[in-house]
Structure 1
Amino acid sequence: MSEEHTGADNNQRLLAAARDDNEELLQEVFEKGGFDINFQDGNADSEILPALHYAASHGSTDILESLLTHEECDVDPINRLEGATPLHLAIRLEDKGVRKYVVENLLEAGADTRIKDKNGDTVLDLLTADDEDIKTLIRKSQAQSAVSMDDIVSDDDGEPGSGSGSGSDDD
């Protein structure tokens, strides 16, 4: 275990693991328990970020995967400085392969593509012309989201007992 993290509580160690891309430390935190997966640290003079922001903005794929598997992980926390979600930060990654991987994982975890940052930009607004792969992923996610919302609405419009099989079986 790293000496600089031994005196910190597990929330602080969680953030350190994400900041430093330290999967070993993250696993220690997960094994020990007693942490908030959405914990944000900071004060009035600094940006307050949860671990997912660090993982997404640094392209820390292993850390990102581990965080997203945690049931209570909020996939859309918004940072104070820019009003950005992890998805906003992920599309800034320089390495195209890592960028696509991180965006894909965030979308699969349910990241909301409609959230606007402080400048009023969604992730689609921030993409460059050569980001066709990412645009396709985002549009596919938006389409799936729209279908899911339609399913929820249509489930509520039927009358009770009006489903098939309500007739007599005595024929």
Structure 2
Amino acid sequence: MASDGASNNERLLAAARDDNEDLLLDVFDQPGTFDINYQDGLGNTALHYAVLHTSYDVLDHILSHEECDVDPTNKLDKATPLHLAVEKEDPEDREYFVENLLEAGANYTIRNKHGETAEDLVKPGDEVILALFRKAQADADANMDDIAYEDDDDVASEGSD
């Protein structure tokens, strides 16, 4: 756990590493005293650590923070939390973290320092994770269609004024 003199940013990272929901909520109760996207010297954020340390309890809180960037890249591998989630050994953990990150809007097209997207790192035969990526792509395509349709409506209504 973080020492008594730790900043709220350090306490945030410690909460994510230790899956300490109480500590995280204590930090969240002090708005303006922390940066949800704070990066340590390695470029890891609380979201990176929540994934790395399989911190189920704190993940939802981090993702629900309105200023949370779901796509930060760390310094060592330029890996996003989604890259890390795909590489989790336990299939249930992998599915949980990948699904939650994708639902939160994680960008699956970001490439790490090796030029790999998170989808490129999916283990051969992992149909569950591949299905999650296909669903995210379908959702993104549907959202783009919706945006184009709304823009078309706006243009039509402007012309009728």
Give the structure-1-normalised TM-score: 0.85
Query: Aligned-pair distance for 1:150?
Result: 2.1
Q: Which residue, 72, 79, 86 being the options, matches 2:81? A: 86
What are the ranges of 5 or more consecutive residues in structure 1 without an aligned counterpart? 167-171
Identical pairs, percent: 54
1:30 is matched with 28
What are the ranges of 5 or more consecutive residues in structure 2 without an aligned counterpart? none
1:40 is matched with 39
Does the CA-based 8 Å contact 2:18-2:53 persist in structure 1?
no
Partners of 1:49 and 1:79 in 2: how far apart? 5
Task: Please say if 1:49 is aligned against 2:44.
Answer: yes
Partners of 2:158 and 2:24 in 1: how far apart? 50
**Which structure features the higher share of helix residues?**
2
Partners of 2:141 and 2:52 in 1: how far apart? 27
Task: Please say if 1:59 is aligned against 2:54.
Answer: yes
Larger CA Rg, structure 1 vs 2 = 1
Partners of 1:70 and 1:129 in 2: how far apart? 34
1:131 is matched with 126
**What is the letter of the counterpart of residue 24 of structure 2?**
L
Runs of 4+ in 1 over 4 A off after TM superposition: none
Give the structure-2-normalised TM-score: 0.90
Pairwise CA RMSD? 1.8
Does the CA-based 8 Å contact 1:18-1:63 persist in structure 2?
yes
1:122 is matched with 117
1:159 is matched with 156
Partners of 1:106 and 1:64 in 2: how far apart? 9
